């Protein structure tokens, strides 16, 4: 980012002012409700419990989120496992399963296939 662009952004920030006429009073209940709605919006979850689970636990495996999941398991040479682990780190993924799912989904799309919803 150039110095000029940084200065322009800083100027815009300095010009922002709080508008008290837009403020609304909140209660503990409305704050909880707002947070739940924001979580559901951010995750695309159908309810607050699912949204919290997605943020604190395992994310949905498919966009449809209704398809039955099964466990796949296979043995591979150490060099392959090491490669998968290094690639998942480069991709910024949390574990090997995420990386392998990404590869399979990419392959499915390249063959015109989609995950099915139940």
pLDDT tens-digit series, residues 72-103: 999 999 999 999 999 988 888 788 988 898 89
For residue 96, which of 115, 79, 81, 74 has the smallest C-alpha distance? 81
- Collapsed DSSP state (helix, strand, coil) of residue 104: helix
Distance of alpha carbon 4 from alpha carbon 43, whole angstroms: 36
Domain that holds residue 71: 64-118
Query: Distance between CA 35 and CA 15 in Å, rounded?
Result: 28
Query: What pLDDT does 118 receive?
Result: 39
Cβ contact 70:76 at 8 Å:
no
Domain C-terminal end among 40, 59, 78:
59
**Are 50 and 74 found together in one domain?**
no
Residue 15 is predicted with a pLDDT of 59
Number of compact structural domains in the chain: 2
Tens-place pLDDT, residues 13-67? 655 667 788 888 889 888 889 888 888 888 787 888 777 777 766 556 655 556 7
Residue after which a domain boundary falls, among 59, 79, 103:
59
């Amino acid at each position: 980012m150039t110095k000029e662009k940084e200065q322009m952004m800083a100027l815009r920030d300095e010009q922002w002012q709080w508008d008290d006429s837009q403020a609304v009073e909140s209660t503990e209940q409305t704050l909880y409700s707002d947070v739940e709605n924001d979580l559901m919006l951010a995750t695309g979850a159908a309810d607050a419990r699912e949204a919290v689970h997605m943020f604190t636990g395992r994310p949905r495996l498919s966009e449809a989120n209704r398809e039955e999941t099964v466990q796949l398991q296979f043995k591979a040479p150490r060099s392959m496992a090491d490669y998968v682990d290094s690639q998942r780190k480069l991709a910024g993924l949390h574990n090997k399963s995420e990386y392998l799912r990404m590869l399979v989904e990419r392959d499915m799309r390249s063959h015109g296939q989609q995950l099915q919803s139940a």
